[in-house]
């Protein structure tokens, strides 16, 4: 993406803590109104990068700019932040906490209260508006925290692990909330471990490991550049051929030039990873001749597959990074 049209432009940013190089030479650009997902294993440097975007810490080297904003800086009132470390005033009523955070984000107290009530209504917590935060379940507290981060309709919402600790129903709820934010014009930058959710949600993905970029792009781009191509999944009748002959058949299929790998899947399935750009006519003929095929289907590699493939094979950390 060209930096000139970016909403956020991060250029060659480094951050070190004692002996740990937490963020190493990261460059990225986020377009206005998109959902940009940061992925990576624990300790990859995602939260450190997000904290620098928010302004809680500063880069040791490099530049973080918001090109469309005056002076290249995003004012605090235009930013919404859901930190990885969740925390609210446990001894205060929900609506008071939301009003307070809204006020600090630049809303007039009355507007902040009304926005807080709208969010509580949306999260089905309005009847509990005057209850103390500490009386809520962990999931409900997380909802309130999310509302506190975005009730002022920020230009940019930075959400660190928004889905962690949520049950599947609430994960779906949050998925909808994040989409709504984008629909309202908010640019969303989030980090997450839930690949299936990110795949459904993010416009672009940026994967980090040991503080460095390991892959980035839209899902089609990622599949194109880092994926192993389409997978062919054959359900076979195991009884029709002996185990020995099936093993020989799989070896023969694996040797075909259009095949990257062959594995046994669940329920007597054979999974054939196809090389990109290869014709598969004679491969299909080979399969039909050697296996008793019951059904055939194809599958795109998931983000999870790409992630495991890329992160799992990425270079190990240097001693300094691993410290």
Partner 1 sequence: MTRAQQVRIIAWWEFNRFVKWRQQFIGIAVMLGLSAMIGGVTKLITGARGKQVEVAVVGAATLGFPLPDVDGVTWLPERYGDAEALRAAVAADSVGGGLIIAADGGGEVLVRRKSAWTTRVAPAFTQAHQAAAFGQLPLSAEQRRALEAPFAVRITALGTGGGASAGSSRLYANILLGIGLVVLFNGFASLFVGITGEKQQRITEQMLSMVSPQSWIDGKILGLAAAAVVGTVMMVATALVAFLMLPRIFGGSVPTLPPPPTELGLLAMIALVTLLGTAMWFAFMAAIAATIDDPNSSPRGAMLMIPVLPTTLAFVLVSRAESTVAQVLAIFPLTSMAVLPVRLLSTAVPWWEPALAIALLAASVWAFRRAAGKIFAAGVLLYGKEPTLAETLRWAREA
Instruction: Return residues touching partner 1 (CB under 8 A).
Output: 51, 54-57, 76-77, 79, 81-83, 85-92, 100-101, 103-106, 145, 148-149, 158
d(CA 39, CA 210): 12
By beta-carbon proximity to partner 1, the closer residue of 135 and 263 is 135
**Smallest distance from the beta carbon of 47 to partner 1, in angstroms?**
10
d(CA 248, CA 39): 39
Residue 136: half-sphere exposure toward Cβ, Cα within 13 Å: 29
By beta-carbon proximity to partner 1, the closer residue of 83 and 217 is 83
By beta-carbon proximity to partner 1, the closer residue of 144 and 214 is 144
By beta-carbon proximity to partner 1, the closer residue of 51 and 143 is 51
**Smallest distance from the beta carbon of 51 to partner 1, in angstroms?**
8
Residue 106: half-sphere exposure toward Cβ, Cα within 13 Å: 11
**Smallest distance from the beta carbon of 11 to partner 1, in angstroms?**
22
- Closest Cα to residue 128, out of 138, 139, 140? 140
d(CA 210, CA 11): 18
1 CB-near residues (< 8 Å, 6+ apart): 29, 31
Tokens of 110: 């009355």
**Smallest distance from the beta carbon of 156 to partner 1, in angstroms?**
11
- Closest Cα to residue 55, out of 38, 77, 76, 34? 76
By beta-carbon proximity to partner 1, the closer residue of 109 and 220 is 109
Tokens of 306: 């790409």
**Smallest distance from the beta carbon of 126 to partner 1, in angstroms?**
22
**Smallest distance from the beta carbon of 54 to partner 1, in angstroms?**
5
By beta-carbon proximity to partner 1, the closer residue of 110 and 225 is 110
By beta-carbon proximity to partner 1, the closer residue of 56 and 322 is 56
**Smallest distance from the beta carbon of 98 to partner 1, in angstroms?**
12
2 CB-near residues (< 8 Å, 6+ apart): 29
**Smallest distance from the beta carbon of 142 to partner 1, in angstroms?**
12
**Smallest distance from the beta carbon of 244 to partner 1, in angstroms?**
58
> Please, which residues bridge with residue 264 across strands?
270
Beta strands 35-39 and 187-191, pairing class: parallel
3-class SS shares of the chain: helix, strand, coil, % to 5? 40, 25, 35
- Closest Cα to residue 31, out of 175, 204, 159? 204
By beta-carbon proximity to partner 1, the closer residue of 166 and 306 is 166
Distance, C-alpha 233 to centroid of its chain: 27
Asked if residues 205 and 220 have their Cβ atoms less than 8 Å apart, the reply is no
Tokens of 178: 């994040």
- State the alpha helices, DSSP H only, in 4-158: 46-54, 94-104, 109-122, 138-150
By beta-carbon proximity to partner 1, the closer residue of 87 and 127 is 87
């Amino acid at each position: 993406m060209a930096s000139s049209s970016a909403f956020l432009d991060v250029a060659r940013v480094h951050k070190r803590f004692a002996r740990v190089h937490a963020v190493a030479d990261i460059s990225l650009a986020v377009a206005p109104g998109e959902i940009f997902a940061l992925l990576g294993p624990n300790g990859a440097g995602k939260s450190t990068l997000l904290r620098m975007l928010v302004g809680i810490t500063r880069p040791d080297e490099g530049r973080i700019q918001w090109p469309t904003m005056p002076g290249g800086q995003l004012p605090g009132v235009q930013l919404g932040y859901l930190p990885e470390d969740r925390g609210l005033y446990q001894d205060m009523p929900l609506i008071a906490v939301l009003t307070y955070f809204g006020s600090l984000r630049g809303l007039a107290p009355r507007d902040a209260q009304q926005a807080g009530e709208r969010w509580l209504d949306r999260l089905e917590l309005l009847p509990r508006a005057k209850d103390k935060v500490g009386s809520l379940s962990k999931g409900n507290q997380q909802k309130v925290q999310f509302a506190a981060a975005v009730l002022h309709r920020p230009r940019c919402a930075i959400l660190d692990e928004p889905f962690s600790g949520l049950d599947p129903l609430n994960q779906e709820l949050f998925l909808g909330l994040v989409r709504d934010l984008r629909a309202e014009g908010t640019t969303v930058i989030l980090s997450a471990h839930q690949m299936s959710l990110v795949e459904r949600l993010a416009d672009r993905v940026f994967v980090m490991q040991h503080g460095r970029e390991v892959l980035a792009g839209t899902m089609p781009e990622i599949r194109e550049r880092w994926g192993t191509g389409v997978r062919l999944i054959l359900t076979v009748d195991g009884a029709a051929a002996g185990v020995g002959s099936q093993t020989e058949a799989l070896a023969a299929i694996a040797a075909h030039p259009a095949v990257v790998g062959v594995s046994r899947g669940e329920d007597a399935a054979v999974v054939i990873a196809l090389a990109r750009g290869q014709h598969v006519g004679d491969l299909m003929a080979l399969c039909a001749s050697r296996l008793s095929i019951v059904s055939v289907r194809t599958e795109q590699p998931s983000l999870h597959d790409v992630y495991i493939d890329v992160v799992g094979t990425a270079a190990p950390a240097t001693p300094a990074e691993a410290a």
